[in-house]
Amino acid sequence: SEAVSEAKIALGDLDLLRGEPWEATLLYSQVEKANPESVVGQEAKLRNARLNYYAGNFMLAKSHLDILKEATTREIANDAMQLSLLIQEGTAVDTLGLALKDYAAVEGLVFRNQLPQAISGLDALLAKYPGHDLTDDALLLKAQLQRRTGAYAAAATTLAQITENPKYDVLSDDALFLLAEIQEQNLGDKAKAQVLYQQVLTKYPGSIYVAEARKRFRRLRGDAVQ
């Protein structure tokens, strides 16, 4: 039944949190097999793909993900697409995916909520592979983790490394929006936040953050909210 499958997925997640990936993959695979066409089966397949990704088995992960791009729920399809693109990007030039292996291991630490170790892992990766295609991903993840651990000013400094370098244009809107949010919500600098939200609107008019940035910019400017 679906309830049993949901419970197995939850148990698999617990195994993964405890650092027992073999137990986890066993449970995910049972759910996948029992529910080949349903959302719960696709959820299990996505977790198996992530597990392979954390372990550095990128081609195996990608074979799961490419099937899931056609998933029934948009959320699963989007997650699969994003992870598949990351694997593609991380193995394009560096065909062995060495930096990606380090990055994936860091994401495994994040999943297990070992945030200080994850930040150290990202620092090591950034030092070891300067100028790698994954640099912007690593910086963005580092800033997100710094924010989660309360190091707000440090997070802002990390994000500036992305926003001030035209090379990192793919994640620049993400970084700029997060920077504005940290200034507004964590550092309490409303004036700076207002300027940054406006930059999201003018620099990245096609960004997914535009609607939210506009709303926040108007609120900070003191417009009457409709």
Question: What CA–CA distance (Å, rounded) separates 122 from 105?
Answer: 10
The CATH number that applies at residue 2 is 1.25.40.10
Same domain for 56 and 24, yes or no, is: yes
Task: Band the pLDDT of 169: cuts 50, 70, 90.
Answer: confident
- For the stretch 114-153, pLDDT in tens is 999 999 999 999 999 998 889 999 999 999 999 999 999 9
- Is 97 within a domain? no
Domain end call among 37, 58, 92? 92
Q: Same domain, yes or no, for 134 and 48? A: no
For residues 113 and 215, membership in a common domain is answered with yes
Domain with 168 in it = 105-226
Task: List phi, psi (to 5°) of 204.
Answer: -130, 65
pLDDT band at 85 (very low <50, low <70, confident <90, very high): very high
Local confidence band at 226 (pLDDT 50, 70, 90 cut-offs): low
The HSE-up count of residue 133 (CA atoms within 13 Å, CB side) is: 14
Name the percent of the chain in helix, strand, coil, to the closest 5.
Answer: 80, 0, 20
How far apart CA 47 and CA 28 sit, in angstroms, is: 7
pLDDT tier at 224 (50, 70, 90 boundaries)?
Answer: low
On whether both 69 and 111 belong to a single domain, the answer is no
208 and 139 part of one domain: yes
Same domain, 20 and 109: no
pTM of the entire predicted model? 0.88
| HSE-CB for 83 with a 13 A CA cutoff | 31
At residue 223, does pLDDT exceed 90? Answer: no
Residues near 211 by Cβ (< 8 Å), separated by ≥ 6? none
Last residue of a domain, one of 68, 92, 116: 92
